[in-house]
Amino acid sequence: MSDLTTHPLRTDMLLAMRRLARSVTVISSAHDGRRYSMSATAVDSLSTDPPSLLICINRSASLYPPLDAGAGFCVNVLAAAHEGIAIDCSGRLKGEARFTTGDWHTSAHGVPYLRDAQANLVCEQDGRFEYGTHTVFIGRIREVLMSGDVDPLVYLDGAYTTPGAPLARAAA
């Protein structure tokens, strides 16, 4: 396909995806004594047997090298109160400075996690594949932590928002 054919389709796709409300996460990792993080919405469950999820990471992202080296990671599901952390990890801050806001701890698996996130899914890598500019990493979930009410930070139409009032918890 020529650029003339793909450019309008790419633009239309980006505009269409802005209409897809997504929970905001921060993916965090550690490798060779350094911590890494980035905000992400390209996260989804994969299977419950085994418990697993997938994350899509642009190969130009600062988080990519540790993941490429096989480091474990945590998907930190952000609450509405974490908008500042989401912005910090989207590029306002770089490197270790991204860990200066929030209550960050280290899991038993050596992965940094945001203690008061709505949920933390600590994963070890269990596969990957490349597609276009991204690598899709499969994470086998090793630990799950949850805290607080269900009050997600959502990304919709290029902006952070919330669904309004906290959602009622579903019966387990």
Q: What does pTM read for this prediction?
A: 0.91
Q: What are phi and psi of 125, to 5 degrees?
A: -70, 140
Rg (CA), the chain: 16
Q: Give pLDDT < 50 ranges for the chain.
A: 1-2
Q: What separation in angstroms does the CA of 29 have from each of 34, 66, 73, 95, 120?
A: 8, 7, 5, 11, 12
Residue 169: the pLDDT is: 59
For 68-84, the pLDDT digits (tens) are: 999 999 999 999 999 99
> The tokens of 5 are what?
């054919």
Cβ-contact 28, 15 below 8 angstroms: no
Give the angle subtended at the CA of 20 by the CAs of 101 and 172, to the nearest 5°.
75
Residue 5: the pLDDT is: 57
E-only strand ranges, the chain? 22-23, 25-31, 34-40, 43-48, 51-58, 73-77, 104-106, 112-114, 119-131, 134-146, 154-156, 159-161
Residue 148: the pLDDT is: 86
Cβ-contact 153, 82 below 8 angstroms: yes
Distance, CA of 103 to CA of 105 (rounded, Å): 7
Residues 6+ apart with CB under 8 A from 142: 72, 109, 122, 123, 124
Cβ-contact 113, 103 below 8 angstroms: no
* Helix ranges, the chain (H): 3-17, 64-68, 83-87
Residue 1: the pLDDT is: 47
Pairing of the two strands 51-58 and 134-146: antiparallel
Q: Which residue ranges form the domains of the chain, and what is each CATH number?
A: 23-154 (2.30.110.10)
